[in-house]
Amino acid sequence: MAFGNVSSASIGYSGSSLRYGLLEIKPVEFKETIKKAGIKFQRVIRRFETFQQPQTYSDIVTFQYEAVFGSIKIPDWFDSSKLVKEFSQRSIANYEKDIEFKKAVEEVQNNKNQIARPLLSFVQFAKTRFESDIDNYLEEEADRFLRSNFPLSFYNKLLVFDNTYREFLAVLEEIVRKYEFRARCSRNFEMYKKHISEMKWAIGPIIDQVDSCFLHYFRLKDYVTIWNTTDYAKLSNPEFWDIKKLDSDEFDKIFKEYNNTLMETRSTLLQLNENAFIRAPDVIENPSSAIFSKLVTLPSGSLTL
């Protein structure tokens, strides 16, 4: 996806956003005195707080791009530190505009509206947001395919990542649903905390694996991008992706590492749910068909190279 596109912004938040909303929290309990019909009584309120000073989104995304551009060959006409700055600033700008996502994170931490299951609601928000972005993302990739000489198999493999991420969100939803239900049924606050701790232990390694897959995904796309433009201003959307401009050995290495991580991630999800990827919708499960269905719906002006 082009990193400057708002339509794909939520995909770019990666597991790090879920880590912030699900792992870097601790449950707290306190009593509140309220008055109804002239009668005062106390109610017990449980919510979540961050147990440590969390990294800002700016910190997370800057670290991500430092890792990306520190591990690939940079063209002579670019400076790696400036590339980190350019990519990071665009991603941060998209994030700052995303009021809905910020509100979802705030609901987890403050739960001012007393949502019965705030953690599950947060995951479901991320899942719904991702699925709502898919059509726009497919149009971006269809347009990119028309403005490139890369084989369709390359785009297929990129779209398999989105299929994988969708299934990750589905698996995550079921795990959070189970443990948050157990927590709410707890007899006391100590058992409540125990179930939340068990949930974090269960989902932590999965989020780590998906974050690694994200890093290799961005590394592959950013490598292709920087070798196909000489202008910082065009980094968000180069005019043409030419496979001939790439060092074939370097490209094969980066692509292989991405594919290996992708397969490891899918294997992890299959171990957690043997029916994973069966329930995914055709639009993501069959990337070739998805791209071609989008090609026929693009405006005629888009069909010229």
Per-residue HEC secondary structure of 221-281 comes to: HHHHHHCCCCCHHHCCCCCCECHHHCCHHHHHHHHHHHHHHHHHHHHHHHHHCCCCCCCCC
Measured CA to CA, the distance from residue 197 to residue 176 in angstroms comes to: 11
| pLDDT, tens only, 73-122 | 999 999 999 999 999 888 888 878 888 877 777 776 665 555 668 888 88
In a domain, 86, yes or no: yes
- Supply the range of the domain harboring residue 260: 6-303
pLDDT at res. 284: 47
Q: Which residue has the tokens 């993302």?
A: 137
Q: Which residue has the higher pLDDT, 109 or 251?
A: 251
pLDDT at residue 20 above 60? yes
The count of residues in the chain is: 305
* pTM for this predicted structure: 0.78
pLDDT at residue 45 above 70? no
- Six token digits for residue 69: 């551009």
In a domain, 1, yes or no: no
Model confidence at 247, pLDDT cuts 50, 70, 90, reads very high
CB 151 within 8 A of CB 175: no
Domain count, the chain: 1
pLDDT at res. 194: 92
Model confidence at 49, pLDDT cuts 50, 70, 90, reads low
In a domain, 244, yes or no: yes
In a domain, 228, yes or no: yes
